Amino acid sequence: MKKDDIFLMPILLVDDSNANTILLKAILNNEGFDLISVASSVEETRAFLDEYKIDLILISTILSKGSGIELCHEINGDLRYEDIPAIMVTADSKIETLRKSFENGAVDYIAKPINSVELIARVQAHLIRKQVLDERKKSAITDVLTSLYNRRYFDTIFDRQYNKSKLENIPLVFFMIDIDNFKKYNDNYGHQAGDDALQQVSHAMKAQLKRNGDYIFRLGGEEFAILLLSDNIDHCQNLSDSLHKGIYDLNIEHKYNEKHGRISVSIGISKVDVSDLITKFDIYNTADEALYHAKESGRNHSEFINIKPDGTKSEKSKDGKFRLMDIFK
Per-domain residue ranges for the chain?
A: 3-139, 151-326
Confidence of residue 308 (pLDDT cuts 50, 70, 90): confident
pLDDT given at position 319: 41
Degrees (nearest 5) of the Cα angle 21, 22, 24? 60
The per-residue pLDDT for range 81-127, each reduced to its tens digit, is 889 999 999 988 788 988 999 999 999 999 989 999 999 999 999 99
Look at residue 172 and tell me whether its pLDDT is greater than 50. yes
- What is the sign, positive or negative, of the torsion defined by CA atoms of 303, 304, 307, 308? negative
pLDDT given at position 316: 56
Q: Is residue 73 helix, strand or coil? A: helix
Mean pLDDT for the stretch of residues 266-283: 91
Average pLDDT, the chain: 89
Q: 151-326 has which CATH code?
A: 3.30.70.270
pLDDT given at position 318: 45
Look at residue 326 and tell me whether its pLDDT is greater than 60. no
Q: How far does the chain reach from its first CA to its final CA, in angstroms? A: 51
pLDDT given at position 148: 97
pLDDT given at position 66: 81
Degrees (nearest 5) of the Cα angle 124, 73, 10? 30
Confidence of residue 315 (pLDDT cuts 50, 70, 90): low
Closest by CA position to 78, among listed 151, 160, 134, 154: 160
- Superfamily name with CATH number, domain 3-139: Response regulator (3.40.50.2300)
Alpha helices by DSSP H, 142-211: 151-168, 182-189, 191-206
Mean pLDDT for the stretch of residues 219-241: 92
Indicate whether this model's pTM tops 0.75. no
Residues 86 and 75: beta-carbon distance below 8 Å: yes
The per-residue pLDDT for range 4-51, each reduced to its tens digit, is 789 999 999 999 899 999 999 999 999 999 999 999 988 899 888 988
Of 217-221, 239-243, 271-275, where does mean pLDDT reach its minimum? 271-275
Give the span between the Cα atoms of 286 and 293, in whole angstroms: 11
Mean pLDDT for the stretch of residues 248-263: 94
What residues are annotated to the active site? 222
- What is the sign, positive or negative, of the torsion defined by CA atoms of 56, 60, 63, 69? positive
Look at residue 264 and tell me whether its pLDDT is greater than 50. yes
Confidence of residue 307 (pLDDT cuts 50, 70, 90): confident
Query: DSSP assignment, residue 318?
Result: T
Give the span between the Cα atoms of 170 and 154, in whole angstroms: 19
Of 140-149, 166-175, 309-318, where does mean pLDDT reach its minimum? 309-318
